[in-house]
Amino acid sequence: MCLLTLGPRTAAALPYEIYIDIETEDDLYDLLATDQISEASFDALLFLHQTRVEINRADRKRLYLLPNLDYADVDRIIAYRQRTGAIYDLRDLVAAGILAAELATSLDPFILIDPPEPSRRHADAFIRAQGRWSGRHDRLPPPLAAQARVRPLRNLDIGAAATLTRNRLRRVRWDASRSALVAAPERVRFEVPKLYLHWQGASWEVIAGTYRVGFGQRVTFDVTDQATPNGFFGDYELRSDGDLTRACKRAAGELAQSPCPSVPVIHVTPDYAWTNRLAGIALGLEQPAGDGWVQAHAWGSYQVHGLSQSEIAVASSCEDPRRDEDPGCGAPRVYVRAGRSTEPAPAARFATLPFMYVEALGGGHASYFWNARRHLGVTGYGAAPRWLVQGAALGFQETARKPFGGAFGAVGVDAAFGFRSQDLFLEVARSFDNQGDGGGFGLLFRSVTTLPEATVDVSMRYYGSRYANPYARPISAPDELDGLRARDEAGLRIAATADVGAHVTVRAVADCWRRLSSGAMGTAFFGRADWKLGASWSLALWVEHQHGAQERLVAATQLAYDSARPVALSAQLRHRLIGAPRDTTQLQHDVAATASLVTRPVDMLRIRFRVRYDFEDVSDNHRLQQMLWAFVDASLAPRERHALRLRYDLRAFLDRRASTIARLPNPEHWLLLEYVWRH
């Protein structure tokens, strides 16, 4: 059973579900919207696209993050780089027979080429400004965002992200008279959530500001979203939410009725979003030692975090939030107060509360590399949250990602050994916390075999029921225990990519796992085949099946025409069945269809058009969503360094749910304007 069942949502791990060939960030959002990649793959690719891989500095692990590459490709790139001293253009790799032309082109959106010689160095800069608006019912000003990355010197990298938010609550306080939290209402704010400076020398590097770091097989510590991390890099990520949000999020609370009108329910453009990872200082060192080299990293972070209302517990009235029957262990009420404290106030709904706690975190990693394929390392970290709300002892619910009870951490050992076409990886870790059980063990063994026409990735894992490590992001099943995926399971996963002849590529991921606490088995399946039907036509078929707490079956096909110039077309159909295991009479049938067109009438202009129809539960139009979504996107690049993009979206909700009938606007009209400058 383990060998015959698969699933792409089991982990963020290579290989990706499809051959990744994009031009812009929006292409990644399209792949996610059409269910061609999982959310885990999207997270990895989005961050990789925004940060890029420096092809002349990246080590073997970092290069392997690039989509569509296997270890054989990576080793050839490194050998060519060592032989020639530097890579000045991807076309050089094609001319030397290192990569096929199509493969080299697919890497371009994910790399930076900065030749190491001082005579060839130059200043690089990237600035992107964008804003969105959804019509006359929207709040003003509209949400705005800007990202910038500048490398004024070959060794210095500076990045920042800023945004104008309108929908976030402010200033959370504890009100003893109410025994509840009180927040100030939303207002327009200018925020700079990401800012970093990164200096990288010949043997050492330092970063200050927002950054991400990870090592090994991600069992001990990782916040990178990447499959094979090895070190740290700056973080200036921003992302777009694709759904409108309610303009008024209030319940009655202390009022006679909610201040939000029952009809219509107005929706507004969401703010630009970001993920808080680490903020502080990190140091890295790499020095020759014997026949190999020593690598060492140390990092410290003092990051302020927001939190969902449902993830908060009042520790003074709840010793153990796992006791759901204890009325004192429920989440505290949150009131929104705009006037005097004695006035009745409404309660917040669907609230994410800002600046709730600060987490002090420190960690270190040291490893010895005999060569790029053989190393032994140790990683450890400790973290202590401190709540910023005065007047009450707050803590985490058991469903929050962070362990309740105080400080926590983990220590682990990882190793890699490679020979010929085989690469083996192992990581073992022990977690520590104050939840009463002291922590547990996690283990992952992984084997990657790179053949001339195929790659096979096999992993075995064990994460104990007490392994509560929120900074572990290894291969894992989609189910969770107390907010964590890498916990309470033992499993086997097989992923393979193979070229069958000259025109067919098959990708498959197989997973089988057992819940340690209950003994329940889970299996999942994903398989995809891509056929090249000629110079311009291609056909893809894929199927997905998941068996466990929920039964899920997806079958889809896509037919595409791409003549490179001037037009590319594709059409996709998907049928999904969802239901409870062993209950074939109550299966939910969903259907979706997508058609896309991309054209370049002239070199400087790229126009994209897509229409999607999605009907969830075709047997009942009053239960779930039925939607028609179309957009047109025009990108104008009159000069190589400048690009201006305008996008218009139309979304119509066609189902007969009460929430849809009360929804305003319907249909939705979105307008996006973006300007990009590169140097």
- DSSP characters over 281-350: EEEEEEEEETTEEEEEEEEEEEEEEEEEGGGEEEGGG-S-TT-TT-GGGSPPPEEE-SS-TTS--PEESS
Residue 89 in any domain: the answer is no
Residues 297, 367: Cα–Cα separation, whole Å: 9
Q: What is the mean pLDDT of residues 11-25?
A: 69
Residues 45, 37: Cα–Cα separation, whole Å: 10
Report the chain's C-alpha Rg in angstroms. Answer: 26
* pLDDT per position as a tens digit, 141-162: 999 999 999 988 878 999 999 9
The H or E element containing residue 32 is helix 25-33
Residues 40, 227: Cα–Cα separation, whole Å: 10
Residue 147 in any domain: the answer is no
CA angle 598, 497, 24 (to 5 degrees): 25
CB 442 within 8 A of CB 449: no
Residue 596 in any domain: the answer is yes
Q: What is the pLDDT of residue 6?
A: 34
Q: What is the pLDDT of residue 117?
A: 56
Query: Which domain covers residue 616, as residue numbers?
Result: 550-679
CA angle 281, 282, 284 (to 5 degrees): 155
Residue 521 pairs in a beta bridge with 514
- Longest CA–CA separation in the chain, Å: 77
Residues 68, 14: Cα–Cα separation, whole Å: 9
**Phi, psi at residue 25, to the nearest 5°?**
-65, -35
- Sheet strands side by side (includes 170-175): 170-175, 180-184, 334-336, 347-348, 250-251
Nearest by Cα to 384 from 363, 398, 364: 363
Residue 495 in any domain: the answer is no
The one-letter code for the residue type at 237 is E
Q: Which residue, chain included where needed, has tokens 């979304």?
A: 651
Q: What is the mean pLDDT of residues 253-273?
A: 92
Residues 552, 275: Cα–Cα separation, whole Å: 29
Over pLDDT 70: what percentage of the chain?
95
Q: What is the pLDDT of residue 581?
A: 54
Residue 213 in any domain: the answer is no
Q: What is the pLDDT of residue 123?
A: 62
Residue 2 in any domain: the answer is no
Q: For residue 224, what pLDDT band results from cuts at 50, 70 and 90?
A: very high
Q: What is the mean pLDDT of residues 15-32?
A: 83
Q: What is the mean pLDDT of residues 566-577?
A: 88
The structural domain count of the chain equals 1
Q: What is the pLDDT of residue 288?
A: 94
Nearest by Cα to 396 from 455, 482, 471, 338: 482
Residues 349, 336: Cα–Cα separation, whole Å: 10
Q: Which pTM was predicted?
A: 0.90
- pLDDT higher than threshold 90 for residue 54: no
CB 441 within 8 A of CB 464: yes
Tokens at residue 523, please? 């299996």
Residue 74 in any domain: the answer is no
Buried b (16+ CB within 10 A) or exposed e, 486-497: bbbbbbebbbbb
Q: What is the mean pLDDT of residues 506-513?
A: 93
Residue 655 in any domain: the answer is yes
For residue 601, cis peptide bond before it (omega within 30 degrees of 0): no
